[in-house]
Structure 1
Amino acid sequence: MPGGATTRAFGPKGETRTVPDTVARQVWVAAGGRCTICNRYLLADNVTGQEVPIGQLAHIVGWSTAPGSPRGDHDFPVEQRNSAENLMLLCHDQHRVIDHKSLWEVFDVDTLLAMKRRHEERIRKLTGLGHESRTTVLRVVGHIHGRPVELTSASVTTALLANNRFPDSILRGADEFEIDLRAIPGEPISSLAYWAAARNHLEDGLRHLCTQVRKEAVNHVSVFALARIPVLVLLGTYLDKMLQVDIYPKRREGKKVWGFDDFGATVRFGSEILRVGKDPTRVAILCSISGSIDINRLPPEVLDSHTIYELRPNTMLPTPELISTKAALDQFSQAWRILLSTIEVDHPGVSAIPIFPAVPPAAAISIGRHLLRAAHPPLHIYDRAPSSPGYFFTASTEA
């Protein structure tokens, strides 16, 4: 523990060895006062809450070459085994684990050195972030066609740190603000009651966040959302009031759980008219991004009278992984804004736009976010019917 001219390092049987205070302080600071393995805070007792240092300095290579010294037969020089390079900060439990003879092969020297390096790099990166890097986390989770969605705090924090941000603690005394739609009944059958309840739940959950934005208590929001596409379009319409928003998509594979790829193929999007309707004031939009929308499956009232536009990738087939980078999302958002402007000019008098989105979650949020409700007609959002190949109305973006 830190303090005094020297401090102690503990052996597997409770024996101690003195370590210079400067070395001990170096190890404690580099580890951020947390266990290198389980991340437990080691400057307070969990039971009493008292500020008592409970961490232990553990040797990676045992301090002795004698039999029974954990990893002691390694060729690391004996005279350097009390150096910061060979010491890691652990809680009592993890220290017992790595020094248990049955686990020496599991926790070998290279493994422990890698753990020490990763932990200390994470602490250095986190503590190096300034006030301007703080963000308020907004989590929106729901069922998707009956399948539950899980979103852990650990995965959120990992994604934020990879983007050089850290969670704020303004809202409700927590570092995250969550809207949980999983308890709303009727999602598997897409009942009208479900969509109405989901919208009300969004409005209630975002009311406090919007207030904090207006007060300038929140200046950056990080969005982690995975729910039904119409819900995410509605979510985006509320985010248009917020100045700075980062969207973190759920990844299907790879090391990252949430977030965009750093690199990817360049994707461009464009729109075209698939069918000219009888009434120029009636317009519908198909968004064929993660999959293709079959125009012949649209509701008869749309097919009979609406001019139908389709927004899709220019040179690629629609796939769920198409928008894998921030640049691709930006390209989609730009094409979406251009299409809205085109409709505004070429179809004056449009009162509402039916939209049929086959898009990934990040694009759904962007659709809502870039809709200017004061200037653009409201969207009438349609979704695939659960028991037929057709589409049905779910919600409107009208305020």
Structure 2
Amino acid sequence: MPKEVTRYIKKEVERELWARAAGRCQFAGCNRLLYKSPVTQENVNISEKAHIYAFSERGPRGWGQFSFNRKLLNDVSNLMLMCHDCHKTIDQDKGGKKYSAELLIGWKNEHEKRVAIVTGVNPEKKSHVILYGANIGEQKSSLQPEEAKAALFPLKYPAEEKTINLSMKWEGKDDEKGYWDTESKNLRDAFQRKLIPLIETADPYHLSVFAIAPMPLLTLLGSLLNDKVPVDVYQRRREPHPTWQWADTPKNFDFLIKPPNTFLHPPALLLSLSDSIAHDRVTSVTGKDISIWEVTIEKPGNDFLTSREQLSIYRRTVRSLLVDIGKAHGKATPLSIFPAMPVACAVELGRVRMPKADSKWIVYDQNNLKKKFIKALEIT
């Protein structure tokens, strides 16, 4: 028996503590495995059972709420599993000002909640959270991982605590020379490095995509994803409050297809969804000898896309339209694309592309500095 029985932690309490912590240090940001040496990888118990409210009345953080029932000081609710370094760190704060009991309780609850979510999920409900952002003019892309992960519930859960970020950190703007080549190359490289291994091992076999970037890059991302793996693409809505979570489908919603008057000229596809695109804005870039196809809605606007069902209807509509364009103009004729649409629609446009069936795409982007569409990139 221990020399000081009053400090003795019951074996069943210790087992529960280990289970709740999943064998990792519960100090926020440490997460060290406590059942093996970090150097030799040999099995060894390097854990310590740290009291949140101190066992000693004058210890760090004092007795707190256990002043009138000290028997519960050794309860699992007052213990955290920690490595020696982190245990030493919190206890050298004698006054408990920096590492307060409230802070430690929050860390403990957050750690145990994360363990419960990750280990308790059916593999079919797990999804890797993919973030992709790129600067849009003067605006910098801002993606918050916790907001994205929360949007998965209740259909899916994050496969891992960390998200997979395909973004590149730099100050490049979409009106600068070399922007499109640099961003395109980075996206392709990041996709090959970070996503291809997951897709090939099917672990797990699902991705959830959250992206804020110029339309051409989002379309490129979608073309890389294609139908290699099941993907859910999310749209950030601004009303009634900013969120990535889907809402209900508006009644009597549908997309409108406007074919050209003649099929004699090379095709251009206008996606007039978040805003209307005047035809003269297109012909000023391509010339007048062009056959314009258009996908639009009754009232184009930024916030029309609210539900998964709308996005599903969009995919079917665009895939069918691409087939019609191929029949009318031939699969060897390049298709010029002029987008004004939500980010999720841009990604899904690329995903419905069939590399062996569709022609080369030339994707344009509205350049606010030049006040016109410019050629951004090609998808071949």
Give the TM-score of the pair, scaled to structure 1.
Answer: 0.71
**Residue 253 and residue 376 in structure 1: after superposition, are their counterparts in 2 closer, same or farther (change >3 A)?**
same
Measure how far apart 1:83 and its partner are: 1.6
Instruction: Give distance in 2, aligned partners of 1:121 and 1:214.
Output: 28
Structure 1 54/338 Cα, relative in aligned 2: closer, same or farther at 3 Å?
same
The letter of the residue matching 1:368 is G
Per-residue deviation, residues 26-83 of structure 1 (Å, max 9, x unmatched): 112201223334142151566776655444323344446x466735242663222222
Separation in 2 of the partners of 1:188 and 1:200?
14
Aligned residue identity for 1:166: A
2:157 counterpart SS class: coil
Q: Which residue of 2 aligns with 1:70?
A: 61
Cα distance change of structure 1 residues 245 and 136 upon mapping to structure 2, 3 Å threshold: same
Match of 1:358 in 2: 340
Residue 164 (structure 1) aligned with residue 148 (structure 2)? no
The one-letter amino acid paired with 1:31 is A
In structure 2, what is the Cα distance between the partners aligned to 1:108 and 1:209? 39
Equivalent pair of 1:137/1:221 in contact (CA under 8 Å): yes
Q: What is the alpha-carbon root mean square deviation over aligned residues?
A: 4.5
- Which stretch of the first structure deviates more once superposed, 68-77 or 145-154? 145-154
Query: Hey, what does 2:231 align to over in structure 1?
Result: 245
2:180 corresponds in structure 1 to 195
Residue 318 (1) aligns with residue 264 (2): no
Q: By how many angstroms is 1:149 displaced?
A: 4.6
CA deviation string 1:193-233 (max 9, x = no partner): 54345445555555577975896666444545444321221
Match in the other structure for 1:13: none
Q: Secondary structure at the match of 1:299?
A: helix
Q: Which amino acid aligns with 2:255?
A: G
Query: Which amino acid in 1 is paired with 2:230?
Result: Q
- Does the alignment pair 1:58 with 2:40? no
For residues 1-399 of structure 1, the aligned pairs below 5 Å read 17-40=7-30, 41-43=32-34, 44=36, 52-63=44-55, 66=57, 70-74=61-65, 77-91=69-83, 92-93=85-86, 96-97=89-90, 100=93, 102-103=95-96, 107-108=100-101, 112-129=104-121, 140-145=132-137, 149=141, 163-167=156-160, 179=166, 181-182=168-169, 187-191=173-177, 193-203=178-188, 206=191, 219-247=205-233, 260-264=244-248, 266=250, 268-273=253-258, 276-277=260-261, 279-300=263-284, 302=286, 304-314=288-298, 317-319=300-302, 321-344=303-326, 347-349=328-330, 351-397=333-379, 399=380
Change (3 A) 1:157 1:342: same
Amino acid at match of 1:354: S
Please give the secondary structure, in 1, of the residue aligned with 2:26: coil
CA 1:147 to 1:102, structure 2 compared with 1: closer, same or farther past 3 Å?
Answer: farther
Distance 1:155 1:276, change over 3 A: closer
- Given that 2:61 and 2:95 are in contact with CA atoms closer than 8 Å, whether structure 1 keeps it comes out as no
Judging changes above 3 Å, is the alpha-carbon distance between structure 1 residues 242 and 144 closer, same or farther for their aligned structure 2 residues? same
Displacement of 1:190 after TM fit?
4.5
Deviation at 1:393, TM superposition (A): 1.7
1:56–1:95 contact (8 Å) kept in structure 2: no
Letter aligned with residue 79 of structure 1: K
> In the TM superposition, what is the alpha-carbon distance from 1:23 to its structure 2 partner?
0.8
Q: For 2:4 and 2:348, locate their aligned partners in 1 and report how far apart those are by CA, in whole Å.
A: 56
Describe the superposition over 1:224-270 as per-residue Cα deviations: whole angstroms up to 9, x where unpaired: 544432122122222225032233556779999xx840534548441
Rounded to whole Å, the distance in 2 between the matches of 1:59 and 1:312 is 62
Q: Residues 6 and 20 of structure 1 are in contact (CA less than 8 Å); yes or no, is this contact kept in structure 2?
A: no
How much does 1:391 deviate? 0.8
1:289 deviates by: 3.2
**AA aligned opposite 2:77:** E
- For the 8 Å contact 1:237–1:369, the answer to whether it is kept is yes
Percent identity (aligned): 25
Q: Which amino acid aligns with 2:245?
A: D
| Residues 240 and 369 in structure 1, CA contact (< 8 A), matched pair in contact too | yes
> 50-59 or 25-34, which moves further after superposition?
50-59
SS state of the match for residue 86, structure 2?
helix
How far off is 1:24 after superposition?
A: 1.4
Report if aligned partners of 2:49, 2:82 keep a CA contact under 8 Å in 1. Answer: yes
Amino acid at match of 1:164: Y
What is the CA–CA distance in structure 2 between the aligned matches of 1:214 and 1:85, rounded to whole Å?
40
CA distance 1:141–1:94, shift in 2 (3 Å): farther
- The code of the aligned residue for 1:70 comes to R
| Residues 145/105 of structure 1: CA separation in 2 closer, same or farther (3 Å cut) | closer
Q: 1:167 to 1:28 in 2, by over 3 A?
A: closer
Task: Indicate if the aligned counterparts of 1:229 and 1:364 stay in contact, CA closer than 8 A.
Answer: yes
Q: Quote the offset at 1:122 in angstroms.
A: 1.4
TM-superposed deviation, 1:105: 9.8
Q: Which shifted more, 73-82 or 214-223?
A: 214-223
